Structure formats: C-alpha cells, structure tokens
Chains A and B, each alone.
Chain A
Amino acid sequence: MSDDASASSSTLTKDAPPILEVRDLVKHFPIGSGFSLGRKAAVVKAVDGVSFNLAAGETLGLVGESGCGKSTVARTLLRLEEPTSGTALFRGEDIFAANPAALKNIRLRLQVIFQDPYASLNPRMNVAEIIAEPWVIHPEALPVSERAERVRSLLESVGLRREHAERYPHEFSGGQRQRIGIARAMALEPEVLICDEPVSALDVSVQAQVVNLLMEIQERLGIAYVFIAHDLSVVRHMSHRIAVMYLGRIVETGTEEDVYNNPRHPYTKALLSAEPSLDFSETRAKSSRIILQGEVPSPANPPSGCRFRNRCWKAQEICAGDTPVLDRNEGDHQVACYAPE
C-alpha cells in the first residue's frame, strides 16, 4: 500500500484495502462530424486523469459545477461509457478490463441511482417489475419464489407501502419515484452505490427525506457511496471524504472537515464562498465572498497547465506550464495547486 502514512493519520480511512481504486481515469469524447478523414478530430476532455479510492462503507462526495466531468466519472465506472484510459479496481478486479461475464459479476455488487426520477423508471412496467428487473438479469441472486415478497419488503425499507408494488411510475411523486429507484438499486444488495445527483431534482422538503433514507441504508448495510452532486451542503451532510472537480480533474481532496473548513485550492474557496448561506449568525459579510470572473472554459479547449488559471486571482507564470497534480505526500488533504492557501 502506497499511502500507509495517510491511512494512519486519518480516522476515516479504513484499515482494509479500498473497495474501489480509480487510477488516472481518462474519458475523451470525439466531437465533429465523424468524417474527419485522417485529420485530427477534436476531443472534449470530459475526464482527464482522475484518481481516487473508496473504502468500504464510506461516502465519497464528488462535487463540481456542470461540465466538470463528475457524471462522466460515474458513467465510466459503470461502463455505460468506455473509458479512454485508466484503471478502476473493484475489489482488485479491473472494471475497465473485465469481459462481459466478469463485468456482469461486478455490476451485481456495483449499482447506481440516477438524477432524473422520471426518465430512469420504465413507464410501462409496474413497480414490482421495475424492482425485480435486476433479478431477471442476475437470476442466481434470489430464487423466483422469494421475489414477490422481497419486492414488498424493499418497498417498506425505502418508506413506501407494500401495495405500491402494483402501481405504475406515473402514479408517484418525484420523491417517491426516487425511492423506487433506490429500492431497485438495493435489490442486489450491492457493496458500492453510485449516486448521480440523486436529490437534485427534488424539492428541499422532499430532498431531506431521500438524504435521510440513503444515510439510514448506509448505516444498516454498510454500503459505500460515490455521491455526486452540485449542492455543496447536501454533499457535506452525506460525505466522509470530498473530491472537488474542475474541468475533468480533481483539484482538491480530503475529509469533509478539511475541505469545507480549510479549503486550500482557490477554486474550492471560491466555490464554497459562492454558496448562499442561511446562517445569519455567521458574518453575513459579502465582502469576504469571492466572485469569480468568467465561466468554466469549454472542456474541448481547456487552458494549458492549471485549468483554473484564467479565473484564478493567484495565477502566476508557473500555472501555465505543467498541470499541477495532487501532492500525495501531503497526507489525506491533497491539493493540485502551485500556490495553495
């Protein structure tokens, strides 16, 4: 293990090896007509060298603004997109190198819930069929005779009623639909659940119900979450560790306390300060707010070196040179910046 030192300094990293180890994940999407005929096709560098570990039973929060590549990370981990390069070891087995049979076996233990509770449930299936579908694909997971009963107990465990099994998705509200999506993901009793913006489409009052449900499930079953969201307060509430992404790279990572209380990357600082605060007791000093100039550049043509440098108030000459990388010697709280705070 290369990061023994960091493991001992952290209270959250478990002694056991990580359940998921992602190394140098790259996903480039070609753009253009597809008839480039030998000319070099342009690419969108959606994810450009992302590495992280996930320990059993922990929640890693992946935050960043739209276009930073957080959802692409999720989709490549599930092999819904083929990665351009990199490795992702799930219990030591490379997801990206897995053949169809091995991949099926991995997906038995690696499940997902999506953002849009309207698009992710088949309107022509009733709830029982939706929740039981994973067992159709993995018949060995549960004998047919037990499935009807398990569907109903899953419904109860996500706060719905047994009789909801016969209903169709359109009969449910957004929050209830998201519960159905969670029940489906739980059907195979996965070890890792990838949550891609699971509460973003929900109203505040309902969002809290789903956040509580996810935390309860984790407490009960010890499932590890990769929790992707753009809402910083929800991510903070859910996560043990945080990785902040900007334009396809992780710019800062650490425990929830490190990142939120002591942000070191200028982007993290700006992101946190941009978030409107509800606490009047905290100094409502707007003077301390960092308003960034400009917007996130196109991932098809990111700035050289540090991708944040054209919006950064601390940018120097060195930032245009080599891309800064996360400093692995710095223990658990790592930052990819030449002039961190």
Chain B
Amino acid sequence: MADHPILSVDNLQVEFRTGREIVHAVNGATFSVAPRETAAILGESGSGKSVTAAAIMRLLQSPPAFVTGGSVRFKGQDVLSMPMAEWRRFCGRDIAMVFQDALTSLNPVFSVGWQIAELFRAHGVARGKDARDRAIELLGRVGIPDPALRARDYTHQFSGGMRQRVMIAMAIALSPDLLTADEPTTALDVTVQAQIMELLEDLRRESDMAMILITHDLGVVADVADTVWVMYAGRVVEHGPVSAVLSRPAHAYTLALLNSVPRARDKGRKLEPIAGSPPDLARIPDGCAFHPRCRFATNLCRVEAPPSVAIAPGRAAECHHAGKVFDV
C-alpha cells in the first residue's frame, strides 16, 4: 500500500444548522484510501460516517449542512473547491456511489435499462442502441438473469437484492477508480447480503477499483475490508489494518464495541454493553467524546482531547489510554 492515496480526507468538519442548534456531525475526520483497497468506515448511527461520505461526494444540501473546515483530495485535486460542473464530470467516471436504499435512489418512472444507459449518454460515451446494449451487458455482469428482458422493467418489479444490483451496475458503468458504498447491504437479508458483498468484491478485484465501505456491521468489515477507520462522534478514533484493529484494538471505544457483540464462545455469559448512549452531536462532551461511556476514563479524558497515538505503521488511535487498552 505504498501507493499514493487515491482519496485523502483531512480534518473534515461538517455541521448542520437548524433554527435552534448546531449539530456537529463531522468534527475533524481524517482518513485516506489507497488505490485498489477496500477501506471500511465503521460507526454506529450518528457517528458521522454517512455525512462524511455525502460530503466527499458533494451531496450535502446547504443549508442546512455546511462544510466548515478541512479538505478532500481526490486524485490530487481539491474536491470541495472545485466548480460543481467540473465535479460532475468526475462523478460516475472516476468516483461513484452506491446507497443503502435502492428503491428511493432509483427513478421509478424510467426503466432500469434507460437509467443505466443515461450514464453513457450524459458522459458522451455512447448513445442510442449502443448505450442500451452496454446497459444490458452491465445488468448481466451484476448477475441479473435475462438482462435484455429485465432492462425494460421498472424498479418496483425488482426485489431488494436485484435493485441493489441495478444500482451497482450504474455505479460501475464507467469503471470508476473509487466506489463509495454507504451501507450497501443493511436493508438486505443475510443470504442476499452475502451475494451482494461477493459481487462487489469480485467487481473491485476485476477492475482494480478502490472501495469505501460504510457500515455499522463489524462482521462485514472483518469479512471484506483491508483497512478500517472507526468513527465516533464525528471523528476517526482508530484506524489500521482490519485484522490488527479488530483482534487487538487500541481505542477504548473499539474495544467496547467488539465486546458488545454476541459471539459463540460467549454463550451463556453476559454481554458487555457500552453504558449510556451515543452523544448528542449538538452537545458533544469535552475532552474525549467517548469519556462518559468509557471504563478507562480518567480526569485527563474529561478535559483534554486525546492526541493521535501511533500503534504501529499505518495504525493509530486517538485515546489517552491507548497503551492500556492495547494490553487488555
């Protein structure tokens, strides 16, 4: 992974201004994705993972959302300051996105074949029958049976898993170098989830694509990702290679999260939940945002934001007690 990162996000800050209060959804998130790797962004609801993705893709509606700081560089270019017209040319061709809810992300009044072909037309790659044929070929590639026939169908005629395949077909149509997948399998059953994750992984490998996988599912991360970036209260609190981070975490939150998942060997034992609930992003605690729920918390954690502690090459944790956690 000595390659230059294809995407690097530095100290990204996003806030939502509602009439009454300011919600700090992302508070200095920093991460990077190397070419051809799968980077997972792991977090619970309200951790800022989806807002981060939306900010990278410039999908946030402003107001209420404002990017108040930080930078996003994609292939060396500054994404956030780029004119929208220029960014639109990147979208689809160089960077694409798959959303959680395929039903609301696809257009119900156009056939799926037409919607996929629209990408080729919009980017001036192909037109007419050529665009249609390419759309059919893509539907076949993502595992939709009878693609020529199904291309004429509308989204409501597809099952959840098949819709997600249609959306993946659209995302990979122009062979992007980076695919951002926001909870791509959360709405699906386990057996279909396994199919979709395998499809994404195959496509990524075949076309040398990098992938950002946004998820709350530790199992999915362990299964498919190369690196993991753990988010809490709008910051990346720990990152590193997946097997290293998940088998021996260095941040108290990562450790607590792992301990709260039921596993076969814990049968009959009590789970170790994390006390309390995730913080209100309009009122993030001082110091380390995790301190009110943390069993390692000391006075230091209450007053001072933790520095980034290097654990190993390519691995760091923002925790005052990283050493102690690592040795648990």
Interface residue ranges, A against B (CB under 8 Å): 65-66, 173, 175-176, 203-209, 211-212, 215, 230, 232-234, 236-237, 256, 260, 270-271, 273-280, 284, 286, 289, 291-292, 295-296
Contact A233 B262 (CB under 8 A): yes
Cβ proximity bits B59-91 to A, threshold 8 Å, 1 near / 0 not: 000000000000000000000000000000000
Kindly identify which residue among A208, A215, A274, A279 contacts B191, using a CB–CB cutoff of 8 Å.
Answer: A274
> How far in angstroms is the closest Cβ of chain A from B135?
22
Interface centre among B223, B263, B277 (most CB of A within 10 A): B277
Contact B219 A278 (CB under 8 A): yes
Contact B262 A208 (CB under 8 A): yes
> How far in angstroms is the closest Cβ of chain B from A178?
11
Kindly identify which residue among A205, A208, A236, A291 contacts B198, using a CB–CB cutoff of 8 Å.
Answer: A291
Contact B262 A65 (CB under 8 A): no
Contact A291 B274 (CB under 8 A): no
Contact B261 A278 (CB under 8 A): yes
Kindly identify which residue among B44, B193, B262, B273 contacts A209, using a CB–CB cutoff of 8 Å.
Answer: B273
Complex Cα distance A310/B117, Å? 32
Q: Which residues of B contact A278 (CB under 8 A)?
A: 218-219, 222, 246, 258, 261, 263
Q: A237-B267, A278-B261, A280-B243 are in contact. Are A205 and B194 (CB under 8 A)?
A: no
Q: Which residues of A contact B222 (CB under 8 A)?
A: 276-278, 280, 284
> Can you list 12 A-B contacts with CB-CB less than 8 angstroms, sorted by A residue number?
A176-B277, A204-B218, A206-B274, A209-B275, A211-B262, A212-B273, A236-B264, A271-B190, A274-B194, A276-B197, A278-B218, A280-B243
Interface residues of B, dominant DSSP: helix
Contact B271 A291 (CB under 8 A): no
Q: A203-B44, A276-B217 are in contact. Are A295 and B159 (CB under 8 A)?
A: yes
Contact A204 B198 (CB under 8 A): no
Residue B256 lies at the interface, judged by CB distance under 8 Å to chain A:
yes
Ordered nearest first, which 6 A-B pairs have the shortest CB separation? A276-B219, A208-B273, A237-B262, A205-B274, A65-B189, A208-B260
Q: A274-B190, A275-B190 are in contact. Are A295 and B263 (CB under 8 A)?
A: no
> How far in angstroms is the closest Cβ of chain B from A57?
15
Closest to B262 in A: A237
Closest to B145 in A: A294
Contact B257 A205 (CB under 8 A): yes
Kindly identify which residue among A270, A274, A279 contacts B193, using a CB–CB cutoff of 8 Å.
Answer: A274
Contact A211 B263 (CB under 8 A): no
Cβ proximity bits B186-202 to A, threshold 8 Å, 1 near / 0 not: 00011111110110000
Complex Cα distance A256/B160, Å? 30
Interface centre among A203, A277, A278, A291 (most CB of B within 10 A): A278
Q: Which residues of A contact B190 (CB under 8 A)?
A: 65, 230, 232, 271, 274-275
Contact B260 A296 (CB under 8 A): no
Complex Cα distance A276/B225, Å? 12
Contact A204 B191 (CB under 8 A): no
Closest to A279 in B: B263
User: Which B residues, 25 to 58, have Cβ-Cβ distances below 8 Å to chain A?
Assistant: 44-45
Residue B266 lies at the interface, judged by CB distance under 8 Å to chain A:
yes
Complex Cα distance A278/B247, Å? 9
Interface residue ranges, B against A (CB under 8 Å): 44-45, 159-162, 189-195, 197-198, 216-220, 222-223, 243, 246-247, 256-258, 260-264, 266-267, 270-275, 277-278
Q: A65-B191, A278-B246 are in contact. Are A236 and B219 (CB under 8 A)?
A: no
Contact B272 A276 (CB under 8 A): no
Contact B270 A212 (CB under 8 A): yes
Contact A277 B223 (CB under 8 A): yes
Other A-B pairs, 15, CB within 8 Å; known A237-B271, A291-B195: A65-B189, A65-B192, A204-B260, A205-B260, A205-B274, A206-B277, A207-B260, A208-B273, A209-B274, A212-B273, A230-B190, A276-B220, A277-B219, A286-B223, A295-B159
Q: Which residues of A contact B243 (CB under 8 A)?
A: 280
Complex Cα distance A236/B265, Å? 11
Q: Which residues of A contact B45 (CB under 8 A)?
A: 203
Closest to B161 in A: A295
Contact A236 B262 (CB under 8 A): yes
Contact B189 A175 (CB under 8 A): no
> How far in angstroms is the closest Cβ of chain A from B263?
6
Q: Which residues of B contact A280 (CB under 8 A)?
A: 222, 243, 246-247
Contact B189 A296 (CB under 8 A): yes
Q: Which residues of A contact B273 (CB under 8 A)?
A: 205-209, 211-212
Complex Cα distance A270/B273, Å? 29
Kindly identify which residue among B44, B197, B217, B267 contacts A205, using a CB–CB cutoff of 8 Å.
Answer: B44
Q: Which residues of B contact A295 (CB under 8 A)?
A: 159-162, 189, 191-192
> How far in angstroms is the closest Cβ of chain B from A186?
19
Contact B194 A291 (CB under 8 A): yes
> How far in angstroms is the closest Cβ of chain B from A208?
3
Closest to B293 in A: A205
> How far in angstroms is the closest Cβ of chain A from B147?
15
Q: Which residues of B contact A230 (CB under 8 A)?
A: 189-190
Kindly identify which residue among B162, B257, B266 contacts A237, using a CB–CB cutoff of 8 Å.
Answer: B266
Q: Which residues of A contact B191 (CB under 8 A)?
A: 65, 270-271, 274, 292, 295
Q: Which residues of B contact A286 (CB under 8 A)?
A: 223
> How far in angstroms is the closest Cβ of chain A from B215?
10
Closest to A289 in B: B194
Q: Which residues of A contact B193 (CB under 8 A)?
A: 274, 276
Q: A66-B189, A280-B222, A295-B162 are in contact. Are A234 and B262 (CB under 8 A)?
A: yes
Q: Which residues of A contact B198 (CB under 8 A)?
A: 291
Q: Which residues of B contact A233 (CB under 8 A)?
A: 261-264
Q: Which residues of A contact B266 (CB under 8 A)?
A: 237
Complex Cα distance A66/B271, Å? 26
Q: Which residues of B contact A236 (CB under 8 A)?
A: 262, 264, 267
